[in-house]
Chain A
Amino acid sequence: MLTKSLNVFHLAGSPCNNCDIEILDVLTPRYDAERFGLVLVGSIRHADVILLSGAFNKKSAIRAREVYKQAAKPVVVIAVGSCACTGNIFRHSYNIDEPVGNYIPVDAYLPGCPPKPEAMLAAVVKLIAKLRGEK
């Protein structure tokens, strides 16, 4: 797996958008994830990394399952934010599906509501080190 430049695909399912905006913020000049070689891509077929955000209600879960099938494996999956990790406070709603980690294998959980951009970058750095076989 290429760890010099990582193609990142963002798959959102019923998010409140806070995590999504913080993910985008990570691309802005202050946090600047591009220096780590992260590139957001528009197609899941080209993804090395999938970022999941949101609690995934029944409608978006159907879509998420379909979209994940299209990803070229192996792919690294990060659940960004408490909703993607566990469903968060929406967990027991009649319209929320099972935690997305039940059907999309998650490699890293990044809790927070939302996680700070610094936390996202720290997760990325850890992940890159792991992929390269470093400690």
Chain B
Amino acid sequence: MAKKTIIPIGPYHPLQEEPEFFKLHVEGEKVVGLDIELGYNHRGIEKLSESKTFEQTVFLVERICGICSTSHPIACVQAIEDAGDIEVPERALYIRSVIGELERIHSHLLWLGLAGHFLGFNTVWMWVWRYREDVLDIMELITGNRNHYAMMKPGGVHRDIKNEDIPTIKKMCDGLKKPLALFRDAVIDDPVIHARLKGVGVLSRQQIIDYGALGPTARASGVAIDVRRDHPHAAYDRIDWDVIITQNGDVFDKTVVRILEMFESVKIIYQCIEKLKTVTGPYNSNPKEIKPGDGIGHYEAPRGEVIHYIRSDGTNRPARHKVRAPSFMNIVTDREAVLGESVADASIILAAVDPCYCCTERMAAVDSRTGRQVLTSAELLRLSREKTEKLKKEIGAPGPQLDLGA
């Protein structure tokens, strides 16, 4: 393969006065505070939902986030099913888990690549995203689209997974095992990664509980919550898999949790597709109405629990639809995680809770006394990569090496 020059990705905004998502207050090298400004992505989805039918709103919420694009639909249809006491056929439960776990793999691979990029390991980024393409190919085979799968429907799923596609899905998962093992070994044992990420951006157990933090962010601090196990839904209580927990709560642990979760996802997919060979029957119960009442649906998205609350008034539209993505709870913890850390580590700490990709683009550092901007996003990333280079030299190691062949 020809050598490539990787260009730093944007968008970076060198405008001095621009309001940023993450405004770090710094004193010299140290972060002393964090302002978080939301609103750049607020599209008024809850209000829009009130003008959609129950089936239409599933397509709406799918587009809340392109990366967790099946998580919101799963939580949404489960909320509708909870409100209306709707049965879901068994085959649909396995299909939901297959789609959900494929999404988890591609989301964690995405994050791993971005983390590599933030740290200055662009080979990691390119290799990890190359394998992500295989997952997206399977999504396209099963659902017709690489992203935004339009699979979920109140009462089941829109489309079946054809039994003749199962060998292809299995082959793709087989093909992931070696690269996943290589990513795991390259990252988890690497001394430069250790030096860069261990002890950085630590969140304690109590902080996680106080902030209601979720997903790998919580599990990395020893808080053993996972909606798939704690509130079983889809097929998660019909198959065998483990929740990944670590104890140190630093960025390294958050990385480890995500990598190891992908192995569990592969395990779940194998079992579900095996079951699909024998669990026949409908894949949708085709409910005709949702009786009045309240429904709550939640699902373990790659970033943590997604929860939807729906109030049905007996019509075919939600009277109220509350949506809460996991990042809403997780991002707040950043104000604790960056405190006292160095600016060079700020970008990877903010990225560690795996917020929306576009959230992490907009960081800036201001002098805590004068309020004047001193570092842009681009500069924060540059400092991060420089720190990696410095550590590589000090330790005398090259960083994660990935030798995956041609």
Give chain B residues whose Cβ lies under 8 Å from the Cβ of A104: none
The verdict on A43 contacting B110 (CB below 8 Å), with A25-B129, A59-B40 known, is no
**CB within 8 A of A89: which of B40, B48, B65?**
B48
Give the contacts of B56-104 with A (CB-CB under 8 A): 59-60, 63-67, 69
Flag if B357 contacts A42 (CB, 8 Å). no
What residues of B have a CB within 8 angstroms of the CB of A129 in the complex?
none
| Whole-angstrom distance between the Cβ of B66 and the nearest chain A Cβ | 3
When chains A and B are docked, how far (Å) is the Cα of A30 from the Cα of B129?
10
Residue on B with the closest CB to A116? B146
- B7 and A93 form a contact (CB under 8 A): no
Q: Are B43 and A96 in contact (CB under 8 A)?
A: yes
B30-68 at interface with A (beta carbon < 8 Å) = 39-45, 47-48, 51, 59-60, 63-67
Let me know if B281 is at the binding interface, CB within 8 A: no
* Band of interface residues on B: 35 or more
Known A43-B14, A89-B63; contact A22-B130, beta-carbon cutoff 8 A: no
Give per-residue flags for B341-361: 1 if the beta carbon is below 8 A from chain A beta carbons, else 0.
000000000000000111001
Are the C-beta atoms of B357 and A41 separated by less than 8 Å? no
Q: What's the nearest-Cβ distance from chain B to residue A110, in Å?
A: 15
Q: What string of 1s and 0s marks CB contacts (under 8 Å) between A106-124 and chain B?
A: 0000000110100000000
Q: Determine if A114 and B43 form an interchain contact, defined as CB atoms under 8 angstroms apart.
A: no
| Interface members, chain A 19-37 (any B CB < 8 Å) | 19-22, 24-25, 27-30, 34
Q: A12-B358, A17-B356, A18-B148 are in contact. Are A60 and B40 (CB under 8 A)?
A: yes
**B396 contacts partner chain A, Cβ-Cβ < 8 Å:** no
C-alpha gap A30/B136 in the complex (Å): 12
Q: How far is the CA of A114 from the CA of B364 in the complex (A)?
A: 29
Q: Give chain A residues whose Cβ lies under 8 Å from the Cβ of B282.
A: none
Check B7 against A41 for contact (C-beta < 8 Å): yes
B130 touches A29 (CB 8 A): yes
> When the two chains form their complex, are residues B8 and A42 in contact, meaning their CB atoms are under 8 A apart?
yes
Q: Is B371 an interface residue (CB 8 A)?
A: no
Which of B15, B18, B126, B148 meets A28, CB within 8 Å?
B126
The reply to whether B12 and A93 form a contact with Cβ atoms under 8 Å apart is: no
How many residues belonging to A are interface residues under a CB distance threshold of 8 Å?
46
Q: Are B4 and A93 in contact (CB under 8 A)?
A: no
The 0/1 profile, CB within 8 Å of A marked 1, for residues 1-22 of chain B is: 1001001111111110011000
Q: Which residue of A25, A39, A67, A116 has the most chain B CB atoms within 10 A of its CB atom?
A: A25
Residue of B nearest to A55 (CB): B43
Binary per-residue interface labels of chain B (107-136) against chain A in the complex, 1 for a CB within 8 Å, 0 otherwise: 000100000000000000010011001000
**Does chain A have a CB within 8 A of B271?**
no
B147 CB within 8 Å of chain A: yes
Report yes or no: B358 in contact with A15, Cβ–Cβ below 8 A: yes
Of all chain B residues, the one with the shortest Cβ separation from A38 is: B7
**Contact call B147/A40, Cβ cutoff below 8 A:** no
| A20-B133 contact given A90-B48, A95-B42, CB 8 Å threshold | no
The residues of B that contact A21 with a CB separation of less than 8 Å are: 66-67, 110, 147, 357
A90 to B59, alpha carbons, bound, how many Å? 11
CB contacts (< 8 Å) of A86 on chain B: these are none
Q: Do A29 and B126 contact each other (CB < 8 Å), given the known contacts A18-B148, A24-B9, A90-B48?
A: yes
B378 interfacial contact with A, CB 8 Å: yes
- Residue numbers in A under 8 Å from B44 (CB-CB): 57, 90, 93-96
Q: Are B43 and A57 in touch, CB under 8 angstroms?
A: yes
Interface of chain A residues 88 through 105 with chain B (CB within 8 A): 88-90, 92-96
Given A42-B8, A90-B44, A94-B44: A28 in contact with B146 (beta carbons within 8 A): no
Do B15 and A89 touch across chains, with their CB atoms under 8 A apart?
A: no
Residues on the B chain within 8 Å of A88, using CB: 63
Q: Is the CB of A57 within 8 A of B15?
A: no
Report how far A51 CA is from B193 CA in the complex, Å. 34
A43→B18 CA distance, assembly (Å):
14
Separation in Å of the B130 CB from the closest CB of chain A? 6
- B66 to chain A: closest residue by CB: A18
A residues within 8 A CB of B358?
12, 15, 17, 20
Other A-B contacts than A16-B65, A70-B15, A114-B146, 20 sampled, CB-CB below 8 A, are A10-B11, A12-B358, A17-B67, A20-B358, A25-B133, A29-B4, A40-B8, A41-B10, A42-B11, A43-B14, A44-B11, A55-B43, A57-B40, A57-B44, A59-B39, A63-B19, A92-B51, A95-B43, A114-B66, A116-B146
Closest 6 CB pairs of A and B: A18-B66, A93-B44, A42-B12, A95-B44, A16-B66, A17-B66
